[in-house]
A = this chain, B = another copy of it.
């Protein structure tokens, strides 16, 4: 167990290092923080902190920098979440209001988050797993081709082509549309399969093929679209660290293009509350020298998706966490209103 003062020293090291981006020494620490002790004492504390693995020296005659473990302790026990200023809150509101479209909401969110945190922002599209069906529309495009349009309560629209085994009558299609909607509208995606299970049986034999084809496509869409999409922005912010890591930027950009990686990363985050993953806590190799701050957001009580930022492990955690949380809340509100 570390004494109170040693924790204070660690906090000071993290804060200074985040600010200056340079290894911090004992003398500088005592000058910039009112620790009430001399540099020599701080040196002893630093030696202990280093033994415990919270800080490290890049080379022998240099100051200390926090390790991943040090940052972890910092965010868990030393850092609060810094609330945004009034001006920032107003900026969020101005920026988010006037979004017309789901795409627009996500797009604005990602730009906003990138701008506030000056880091790379990642926003997952609202998930469909907990979404409900608002409407299913069927359109005959040609005698044996039907377009299926699925509209969700989060404002998302998905369309699929259905090739039917035989010609489809307009009345039969209207019938199917009506019966299908009466069963699934307002229901959760996860409930849909069993709700429509016995639907084909209630149709005439010669139309069952069509009904089955349509249902198959619908279920497929529900499953496929559960695989989430996401939007990223603010990649230019990576270059702020290019003098530190000219080499590190490439794997990060590559990882950002692999949506699978990011989705997995967001998926690992807790459903509620904020999750911070630091450096090597991230499984993906290219992101080993970055940290991810993620949080769920949603229109109601439940989180429907996640959003967050990716930045260097040396980031302003309290500020970043504050921004991420505030943005998530706002997006939730916007989604709830629409």
Contacts and interface: CB of A to CB of B under 8 A. Distances in A.
Contacts of A141: 134-135
A206 interface: no
Contacts of A139: 135, 137, 151
Interface in A246-265: 246, 249-250, 253-254, 256-257
B249 A242 contact: yes
- Chain copies in the assembled complex: 2
A253 B233 contact: no
Contacts of A159: 151, 155, 157
A37 interface: no
A236 B135 CA distance: 40
A139 B136 CA distance: 10
Contacts of A242: 242, 246, 249-250
Interface string A96-136: 00000000000000000000000000000000000000110
Among the interface residues A137, A139, A239, which one has the most CB atoms of the partner chain B within 10 A? A239
A249 B236 CA distance: 8
A46 to B, nearest CB: 33
A288 to B, nearest CB: 16
Nearest to A237: B253
Interface of A: 134-135, 137, 139, 141, 147, 149, 151, 155, 157, 159, 233-236, 238-239, 242-243, 246, 249-250, 253-254, 256-257
13 contacts: A137-B137, A137-B139, A139-B151, A151-B159, A157-B157, A235-B235, A235-B253, A235-B256, A235-B257, A236-B253, A239-B249, A242-B242, A246-B246
